Structure 1
Amino acid sequence: MEAQKGTSLGMYIFNNTTKKLALILVGPLGCYIAYQMLFIGRYLDIEKYPILTSTYLNGATIIDSVCAFAVALLGFLLARRLGLLDEFLPSLERLSTPSLALITTGILCLLLLSMYRVFGTLSPNYVVQNYHTYSFMVTNGGAWIVLAMYSALLLQLMNMYFSGVTLKNGTFLLLSLLIVSFSGGRGVLILFALMFIVMLMFQRVSLLKFLIVAMLTAASMGVSYVIITSLRAPVAPAAIAPVAPGEATSRIDEIFGRKADRVASPEAAKESVAVDPTNSFEDLNYNAAFISEDVLSALRDEKIEPKAYALEDAMTLFIPRKLMPSKPISTAETRALYPHVAKRGTNITFPLKANVLMHLGGWAFYADWIVVLICQTLMILGVSRRTSAPSIFGFAMLFCGIGFTLIARGGIFNARLLVIVLCVFAAYAGYRTLLRIQTALYASRRERLAGPPSPT
């Protein structure tokens, strides 16, 4: 009996330790390592990116590895100090099935409204053929629709944070994520899916159920990512359906160089032609090495100077374009380093290391690991507070930690993160309001079922 008890205790400690390690691997540290390898490391080439490649060959790889190990060790020690993180008990009432269905339906209606605003039609065939136009125009005057959908997703995640993950609310969330994915957003949706997985992991759930849910979530988000990326890909001019107004198509043609005279024949279209990374669909989606190289080169040659680019963006971020027609479309970083990209009205997203260098200078090459450590700490504290003292601030800390997926891709000095913060608090206000309405409706229903008081 004692042996069985000891074995059970040993397995429990092993499972708890495994969860803490998993928290570090799926958190900011694991995310950043994966990002560095997939979007920067595999593109390193001494001929294409001489400064960046030589930097990593001359010690930067070792220093980055030491920093990563230090962040992992500090994170594990903090998680160990906080003790058990999966003793979760619901602190608020769960949203009902009608409430979850209403949220999901609202998200679908917002997506359809967004598409109709761009196309003037909801014909499935037309939308699919011209999706590249939609992905370009979706936030041009209609960003509030996308932000409303994100807020609805955050509301569902808050329901899970306070009342627990269940099969029902998990199903509604995945369905909502798939719907919102057609608005063109990909990185932020992966963030929402990760948060769902982390909250499920730190509940009392069997390993088999967790693995099944995790694999289904990963598969659905992966398929969604591939499909949306494929739909967004530029196509040959002959295959582009006419879009009204024509201005939208002409701007996209300009961005990716899709001029009819460039494709004189099918054979010519198949030829490999060197393309500037800022005009390459593949590079803009997957290659961050060229951005880091350009930042290092510009700083070395003093073509740009480190300054608060994010503050420039923040000063005009919340001013409607109708009130300020001259409001820049591109970020200050893009205007400084890639003026030709800013001229065409698009953005280059600066990864964390390049973003830190743009704001602080070359001395801050390794300062990105401080950001990783801070986000890792916030994530662990957010999980801990869900167990000990659940609140909007605990949710915000957890979201900030898992939100490192956005920071790795878009930097910490990014005015658009302010918009996400506002969405979090707007979602919380909506969540508490919906709970009150739900409670009031249940109370009213109970009173009706109870009938009038008996006469005395």
Structure 2
Amino acid sequence: MHIFNNTTKKIALILVGPLGCYITYQILFIGRYLSIEKYPVLTSTYMNGATIIDSVCALAVAVLGFLLSRRLGLLDEFSPKFERLSTLSLALITTGTLALLALSMYRVFGTLSPGHVVKNYHTYSFMVTNGGAWIVLAMYSALLLQLMNMYFSGVTLKNGTFLLLSLLIVSFSGGRGILILFALMFIVMLMFQRVSLLKFLIASILAVASMGISYVFITNMRAPVEPIVIAPVAPIEAMARGDKLSGSKKSVVVDPTNSFEDLNYNAAFISEDVLSAIRNNKIEPRAYAIEDAMTLFIPRQLMPSKPISTAETRALYPQVAIRGTNITFPLKANVLMHLGGWAFYADWIVVLICQTLMILGVSRRTRAPSILGFAMLFCGIGFTLIARGGIFNARLLVIVLCVFAAYAGYRALLRIQTALYASKRDRLAGPLSPT
């Protein structure tokens, strides 16, 4: 019994791709927080027609994506192009990933004591990329290498198991959104192979469950030991803003930029702040991503004054930039920051482009697997990062470099593996007998 018919797969591709991801993100991280008292500008915008226009845009993206997938025909007639990585190669990659995680933690703590690491994990999550970002990027490259093996040679029980194990290891480095992206890519590549429904469901449930548990577990570990509380404000102002009150004796507002829960699950306050700032001319739309890109690849040792926070954060949340942290701007807010209020619906163009790239990436895997096809598929599924962090984001350049580094490592590993097998065959064959 094969998984689904071809039409169902095409619909599923759209649902788990950028369109489904963006709709889910909008509902979970923005829509459920809407309140006319708390977020008047954003809520009134959606109440006055934005919801209808967004729905029409979503439907248009779905129809165009389905028509494109129909035009491309069958998408699951996959046949391996390269030899699969051996068990030894996969084990070495996973072991290397674990060693990199240990190095990252030792660099921050000076010890690998499990009790100390768990107790002070919030410190690690803050310091992990401060001078040690290359370690995290090396771990991401190792995951990408494993995904490339699946893209070119197919998903199997063996390489799928090693990938999920590696994902759980890397999740302790603090990254969450990008790891969900890797898990989604695994599921999509498995979906577009000739695989039984039972095997697909088991693999998908394991991938989703492991990433979901990891997300919640790591998020809770990142919680600060003591809650951050700012100065008291007038009760009337607190009630007008709808902020949470701390304590029963006096009214204390916890600003969302200081709220652990808001920073992890609430993107509505960011969209509200961006819309309000643009309407009140408090910020000027400009190429913030280019500002970040100009210093992105300069080592901090060579440039001690290199900003820790992004240009968007410094412009809208200077109080956050002062403490050396970031606010991640969701796609719509990111587009508004760079282009201005007229681009409120331009985010759907990004969704359509990513949806198209994803479908083309699946098609190229079936017809002629290449690094270009992998990049297309990764870009499409990578919309999980774009939905959360925007398309105008200099950090996406780093992920692109990781993709090419992983491809170079993948091809080199294949050559080494082939050479070792050839040498082993020659030894087993022995010397040629004289004639």
Q: TM-score band, normalised by the shorter chain?
A: over 0.9
Structure 1 contact 317–415 (Cα < 8 Å) conserved:
yes
The residue number in structure 2 matching 1:113 is 103
Query: Where does residue 320 of structure 1 map in the other structure?
Result: 299
Instruction: Check 1:318–1:302 CA distance in 2 against 1; reply closer, same or farther (3 A cut).
Output: same
How many correspondences in the alignment?
421
Q: Deviations over 1:24-50 (max 9, x none)?
A: 000000000000000000000001110
Q: Match of 2:221?
A: 231
Asked whether the equivalents of residues 278 and 284 of structure 1 are also in contact (C-alpha less than 8 Å), the reply is yes
Q: Tell me the TM-score normalized by structure 1.
A: 0.90
Partner of 2:428: 449
Distance of 1:230 and 1:36 partners within structure 2? 23
Q: Distance in 2 between matches of 1:320 and 1:126?
A: 29
1:68 is aligned to 58
Q: Give 2:143's aligned residue.
A: 153
Instruction: Please give the residue correspondences for 1:18-417 in structure 2 after superposition, counting only pairs within 5 Å.
Output: 18-236=8-226, 256-257=228-229, 273-417=252-396
Q: Which residue of 2 is the match for residue 424 of structure 1?
A: 403
- In structure 2, relative to structure 1, the CA distance for the partners of 1:130 and 1:269 (3 Å cut) is farther
- TM-score, with normalisation over the residues of structure 2? 0.94
The 1-side partners of 2:74 and 2:165 are apart by 32
Partners in 1 of 2:229 and 2:302 — Cα distance? 32
What are the superposed Cα offsets for residues 29-85 of structure 1, whole Å, 9 maximum, x if unpaired? 000000000000000000111000000000000000000000000000000000000
Match of 1:38, SS?
helix
Q: Is the 8 A contact 1:86 1:202 kept in 2?
A: yes
Deviation at 1:410, TM superposition (A): 0.1
Cα deviation, residue 274, structure 1: 2.8
Show CA shifts across 1:145-164 (max 9, x none): 00000000000000000000
Q: Distance in 2 between matches of 1:32 and 1:374?
A: 13
Tell me, in whole angstroms, the C-alpha distance in 2 between the residues paired with 1:203 and 1:274: 53
Change in 2 beyond 3 A, CA 1:103/1:83: same
In structure 2, how many angstroms separate the alpha carbons of the residues matched to 1:311 and 1:373?
24
1:258–1:106 Cα change, 3 Å: farther
- The residue that corresponds to 1:244 in the other structure is none
1:194 offset after TM fit, Å?
0.1
* 8 Å contact from structure 2 (residues 361, 376) kept in 1: yes
Determine the C-alpha separation between the residues in 1 that align with 2:70 and 2:399.
30
Is contact 1:334–1:347 with CA below 8 Å preserved after alignment? Answer: yes
- For residue 49 of structure 2, give the secondary structure of its aligned residue in structure 1: helix
Alignment RMSD, CA only?
Answer: 1.7
Task: Give distance in 2, aligned partners of 1:272 and 1:104.
Answer: 50
Q: Deviations over 1:74-124 (max 9, x none)?
A: 000000000000000000000000000000000000000000000000000
Which shows bigger deviation, 344-353 or 267-276? 267-276
Deviation for aligned residue 1:207: 1.0
| Secondary structure in structure 1 of the residue aligned to 2:195 | coil
CA displacement 1:320-378 (0-9 Å, x = unmatched): 01111111000000000001111111000000000000000000000000000000000
CA distance in 2, matches of 1:67, 1:207: 32
Cα deviations by residue, 1:254-281 (Å, 9 ceiling, x for unpaired):
xx3499xxxxxxx959998531000000
Q: Does 1:437 align with 2:410?
A: no
Contact 1:277–1:290 (CA under 8 A) maintained in structure 2: yes
Moved more, 372-381 or 14-23: 14-23
Q: Deviations over 1:213-244 (max 9, x none)?
A: 1111111111111110110012238xxxxxxx
Matched to 2:50, the amino acid is A
* Unmatched 5+ stretches in structure 1: 1-7, 238-255, 260-266
Runs ≥4 residues deviating over 3 A: 256-259, 267-273
Does structure 2 conserve the Cα–Cα contact (< 8 Å) formed by 1:236 and 1:258? no
| 1:269 to 1:434, Cα distance in 2 relative to 1, 3 A | farther
Find the aligned partners of 1:271 and 1:154 in 2 and give their Cα distance: 51
Q: Which residue of 1 aligns with 2:240?
A: none
- Aligned residue identity for 1:355: N
**After alignment, is 83-92 or 204-213 more displaced?**
204-213
Kept in 1, the 8 Å contact 2:230–2:252? The answer is no
Give the Cα separation in 1 of the matches to 2:217 and 2:248: 23
Amino acid across the alignment from 1:399: F
| Counterpart residue type for residue 31 of structure 1 | C
* Alpha-carbon distance between aligned partners in 2 of 1:98 and 1:270, rounded to the nearest angstrom: 63
SS at structure 1 position matched to 2:5: helix
Structure 2 unmatched ranges of 5 or more: 232-245
The answer on whether the counterparts of 1:379 and 1:398 sit within 8 Å (CA) in structure 2 is yes
CA shift, 1:212, in A, is 1.1
Return closer, same or farther for 1:128/1:296 CA change in 2, 3 Å cut-off: same
- Give, in angstroms, the shift of residue 389 of structure 1: 1.0
Q: Residues 262-316 of structure 1, C-alpha deviation per residue, up to 9 Å, x if partnerless?
A: xxxxx95999853100000000000000000000010011111110000000000
Verify: 1:17 aligned to 2:7, yes or no.
yes
Counterpart secondary structure, 1:209: helix
